[in-house]
């Protein structure tokens, strides 16, 4: 939840005011003293390579509809990030994967509804039939030297880093 979405105290219902606490301006309840601390949105992205090609999915929704990125998505509350990466791959590509290593953790919010923290993993395909699903409309492997239009700066950065 963003700072502008919190208007009333969940403890006592009093309209919130903005005040500096712990080095930042935060919504604060003048009635009971409750302070809102927003939690960052966390996502995972998964790099899968086969025959010197990178697996990418084409986004079927905005932002960046029609552009390509890694299988990726938000980590649910209480969900292990490794499990989230495996779930997102299955939902978006039809492939069951095994996460093999952590590539990087990036603090980047590419768009207003995006994650604040992205955990990138590398994975290998275990089984399944490649087919688009969830919020993507195409899945394909691309050679690094002939990539389609990419959706986010982090996608290109990870591809270049892992080259």
**Would you give the DSSP letter of residue 160?**
H
Q: Which residues of the chain have pLDDT under 70?
A: 1-3, 112
In this structure, are 16 and 66 located in the same domain?
no
Provide the residue range defining the domain that includes 85: 42-161
Q: What is the pLDDT of residue 162?
A: 84
Query: Pick from 118, 112, 117, 119: which is nearest to 3 by CA?
Result: 112
- Residue 42, pLDDT score: 94
For the whole prediction, is pTM greater than 0.75?
Answer: yes
Q: Which two tokens stand for residue 132?
A: 């688009």
Residue 1's pLDDT is 56
142 and 63 fall within a common domain: yes
Query: Looking at the structure, do residues 29 and 16 belong to the same domain, yes or no?
Result: yes
Distance CA 110, CA 100 (A): 26
Give residue 5's pLDDT: 78
78 and 127 part of one domain:
yes
pLDDT at residue 110 in the model: 72
Are 70 and 26 contained in the same domain?
Answer: no
Is 144 in contact with 156 (CB distance < 8 Å)? no
């Amino acid at each position: 939840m963003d700072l502008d979405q919190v208007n009333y105290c969940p403890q006592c219902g009093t309209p919130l005011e903005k005040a500096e606490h712990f080095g930042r301006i935060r919504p604060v309840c003048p009635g009971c003293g409750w302070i809102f601390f927003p939690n960052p949105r966390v996502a995972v992205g998964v790099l899968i390579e086969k025959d010197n090609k990178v697996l990418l999915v084409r986004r079927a929704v905005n932002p960046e509809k029609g552009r390509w990125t890694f299988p990726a998505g938000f980590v649910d509350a209480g969900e292990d990030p490794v499990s989230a990466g495996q779930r997102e791959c299955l939902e978006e590509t039809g492939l069951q994967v095994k996460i093999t290593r952590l590539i990087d953790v990036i603090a980047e919010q590419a768009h207003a509804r995006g994650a604040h923290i992205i955990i990138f993993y590398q994975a290998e395909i275990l089984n399944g039939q490649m087919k688009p699903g969830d919020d993507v409309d195409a899945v394909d492997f691309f050679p690094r030297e002939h990539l389609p239009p990419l959706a986010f700066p982090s996608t290109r950065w990870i591809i270049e880093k892992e080259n």
